[in-house]
Structure 1
Amino acid sequence: MSPLEAVLVALAGVAAGTINAVVGSGTLITFPTLLAFGVPPVTANVSNTVGLVPGSLSGVVGYRRELGGQRSRVVRLASASLIGGIAGALLLLWLPSSAFDAIVPALILLGVVLVLLGPRIQRAVAARAESRGGIPDHGVWWVWPAVAAAGVYGGYFGAAQGVLLMAILGIGVADTMQRHTATKNVLALIVNAVAAAVFVAVADVDWTAAGLIALGSVVGGQLGAGVGRRLSPTLLRAVIALVGITALVVMLA
């Protein structure tokens, strides 16, 4: 990899880390960049996943203020992401990628729709839950299995996992979008770390590419936290929807 290519890969990592901290889908930037510089697809996928883990951690640190008071919720939902991420990583080893090709675009589209309709759906969910005693701090009953399912998806494919998580949290958990973003970052980190561990164990990693992406994504994680924190809930929903639609178009193409 030439010096110019190395700089561009690191910059792609910055952009991916920034996007991941706010919503996710930074892979849509780094993965094509590695392919453009001649990294084989499988190696690019593996190296990209490994490289983005430090950036995910950076996003968690950047949003640590919004995690305040969420300890019990995060611990509960983290177990769902851990189990789902392991299951998804195992499916990655056992199943051909074509197994999920048909359902992935549908899941992303569903996530975008749920994010856009989130406030209206959340009001209906809250009203129903209120008649039964209110929404628990960790969310309505289906949030845990939904987060686990998103973990399976994230462990297997990864792209647009954040869109799905924001939809689940936005509808099933009574809290602000910014605090949901902080929770989403923790859950996505767990899933990504599990997938990266599997990749390191069973596949070849281009450590130069992974290191450059890691360096850039750490910087991007801090930038994303600063930018995302300034977005209004409406604008944040619009950003999430735009990223999700972009991911959908890329996958269908």
Structure 2
Amino acid sequence: MLNFSNYIIIALASLAAGAVNSIAGGGTLITFPVLTALGIPAVSANITNTVALCPGYLGGSLSQGKDLQNQKKRLWLYIPASIVGGLLGGILLRITPEGLFRELVPYLILLATALLVFQPIVRSYLTKRTETVGAQPRSDLWGVVPVGIAAIYGGYFGAGLSIIVLAVLGITVDDSLTQLNALKQTIALGTNLTAGLFFVFSGKVVWSVALVMAIGALLGGALGGKLAGHVKPAVLRWMVVVIGLIVATLYFIR
């Protein structure tokens, strides 16, 4: 049973995660370990985390709506892929035994941490690549299966999903980084929202925690937007990377 001080800790972690997500990404590496440290089972913590993050993904997608206006054909391709992938990932998580998922957690955290490390490299590559888009762009169909696979991961764990999706789009779709980033936000929303809706009926959501997290993440996102000009994303990213490595090590020891 969680007490008042536990909810304060959850609110602060969510506030920090929301700010981190808006500046550098990787907020899940803060909230998920906090939930498990407070005694919430790993699967339930992951499911609660997914449900609580849905409003944040929605806000991110709405803020970049203007960059999606000329991408309707792609949306018809990639949103179904994100929905199917998110649902499959959610189903996969629900059928994973608690003990097995706990054993997978440190590896999943290490994967998310590695994605955060390589995030600037991916963005640098994509920036250079999209500046030299060919005269005969490849078909958008090439991205459907990779996006679906990324969405399966997103529905299962989710940390680092945006980085994976952006990398997939950059490799398979010929367009500017601004356009791809907006598309990425929508794909992440479709994945997270689908998994979240599926989890609503799982009986594993700790609703009081999800509500506190959602409010904290939204406030943190707004705070992060104001701090973005004063905090170097690289510094914040490496702080989260260190946290991820420490948390993964602790899980391995346990």
- The normalised TM-score by structure 1 is 0.74
- Checking the alignment, whether the CA contact within 8 Å between 1:31 and 1:44 is kept in structure 2 is yes
Residue 5 of structure 1: aligned partner: 6
Q: How far has the Cα of 1:209 moved from its partner?
A: 0.7
User: How far 1:55 moved relative to its partner?
Assistant: 1.9
Tell me, yes or no, if structure 1 residue 160 matches structure 2 residue 160: yes
In the TM superposition, what is the alpha-carbon distance from 1:221 to its structure 2 partner? Answer: 3.8
**Structure 1, unaligned runs of 5 or more:** none
Give the match for residue 116 of structure 1.
121
Structure 1 residue 143, shift from structure 2 partner: 1.9
CA distance in 1, matches of 2:150, 2:30: 21
1:96-133 superposed Cα distances (whole Å, 9 cap, x missing partner)? 53679868856874785586155557767997x837x2
Deviations 1:224-247 (A, max 9, x none): 56667x79xxx87x5897589558
The number of residue pairs the alignment matches comes to: 243
With over 3 angstroms needed to count, the CA separation of the structure-2 counterparts of 1:171 and 1:44, relative to structure 1, is same
Q: Which runs of 5+ in 2 are unaligned?
A: 250-254
Contact 2:24–2:237 at 8 Å: present in 1 too? Answer: no
Q: Residue 44 of structure 2 corresponds to which residue in structure 1?
A: 43
Letter in 2 for 1:116: I
When normalised by structure 2's length, the TM-score is: 0.73
Q: 2:134 aligns with which of 105, 125, 130?
A: 130
- Percentage identity across paired residues of the two chains: 32
Q: Deviations over 1:190-244 (max 9, x none)?
A: 211222223222233221111000111223344556667x79xxx87x5897589
Q: For 1:130, what is the secondary structure of its paired residue?
A: coil
Distance (Å, rounded) in 2 between the aligned partners of 1:135 and 1:225: 35
Q: Which amino acid aligns with 1:249?
A: L
For residues 47-74 of structure 1, the C-alpha deviation after alignment (integer angstroms, 9 at most, x for no partner) is 2221111222122223334434333323
Partner residue, 2:205? 205
Aligned partners of 1:186, 1:225: CA distance in 2, in Å? 19
Aligned partners of 1:107, 1:45: CA distance in 2, in Å? Answer: 14
SS in 2 for 1:202: coil
Pair 1:149-2:149 in alignment: yes
**1:216-235 maps to which residues of 2 (within 5 A)?**
216-224=216-224
1:30 is matched by which residue type in structure 2? T
Q: CA deviation at 1:82?
A: 1.0
Quick one: distance in 2 between partners of 1:147 and 1:155?
12
Report Cα offsets for 1:166-206 as digits up to 9, x if no partner: 21223333344444333222211221122222322223322
Distance 1:246 1:169, change over 3 A: farther
Could you tell me how far 1:163 is from its partner in structure 2? 1.6
SS of residue paired to 2:208: helix
Q: Distance in 2 between matches of 1:15 and 1:244?
A: 11
Q: Which of 219, 243, 249 is matched with 2:245 structurally?
A: 249
- Distance verdict in 2 for CA 1:227–1:63, change over 3 Å: farther
SS in 2 for 1:198: helix
Residue in 1 aligned with 2:252? none
SS of the aligned residue for 2:159 comes to: coil
CA contact (8 A) 1:80 1:145 kept: yes
Could you tell which deviates more after superposition, 31-40 or 73-82? 31-40
2:201 counterpart SS class: helix
Instruction: Name the residue aligned to 2:95.
Output: 94
Match of 2:84 in 1: 83
In structure 1, C-alpha distance between the alignment counterparts of 2:55 and 2:31, rounded to whole Å? 14
Paired with 1:18 and 1:157, the residues of 2 have a C-alpha distance of 20
Q: Retained in 2: the 8 A contact 1:25–1:162?
A: no
| CA 1:251–1:153: 2 relative to 1, 3 Å | farther
Deviates further, 100-109 or 203-212: 100-109
Deviates more, 1:156-165 or 1:62-71: 62-71
Once the two structures are TM-superposed, the CA of residue 16 in structure 1 deviates from its matched residue by 2.2
